[in-house]
């Protein structure tokens, strides 16, 4: 796999590695994991807020938490039969998102 991932590539990677476990956990349990990761992202954002002087470890943690949130979101999409790339077309087709002008 190249170092440049599409959303489809990433979703497939998550599905290939974790689908059996994720499907057994189900949507409610997986959603709770996503929310926990969102909370960790919120903490990392606070640690890296403007005006603060984050350490390299805090900066690395921020990146990790963004990745974790995206991975758990991909997991939820997988176990609920949602294709990220198809879902994201609302942002990429002509006209974009309703009410938002390019």
pLDDT digits (tens, 9 = 90+) for 27-41: 999 999 999 999 999
pTM above 0.75, yes or no: yes
Domain boundaries defined on the chain = 34-82
Cα 65 from Cα 71, distance rounded (Å): 10
Q: d(Cα 33, Cα 74) in Å, to the nearest integer?
A: 12
Instruction: Give CA–CA dist 5/64, Å, rounded.
Output: 16
* Distance set, CA 40 to CA 16, 18, 24, 37, 99 (Å): 25, 21, 24, 5, 31
Rg of the chain on CA atoms, in Å: 16
Q: What is the pLDDT of residues 86-96, one digit of tens each?
A: 998 888 877 66
């Amino acid at each position: 796999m190249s170092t440049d991932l599409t959303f489809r590539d990433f979703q497939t990677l998550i599905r290939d590695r974790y689908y059996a476990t994720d499907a057994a956990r189900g949507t409610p349990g997986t959603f709770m994991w996503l929310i926990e990761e969102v909370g960790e992202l919120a903490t990392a954002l606070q640690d890296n807020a403007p005006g603060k002087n984050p350490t390299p470890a805090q900066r690395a943690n921020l990146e990790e938490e963004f990745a974790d949130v995206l991975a758990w979101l991909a997991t939820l999409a997988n176990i609920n039969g949602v294709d990220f790339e198809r879902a994201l077309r609302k942002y990429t087709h002509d006209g974009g998102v309703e009410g938002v002008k390019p």
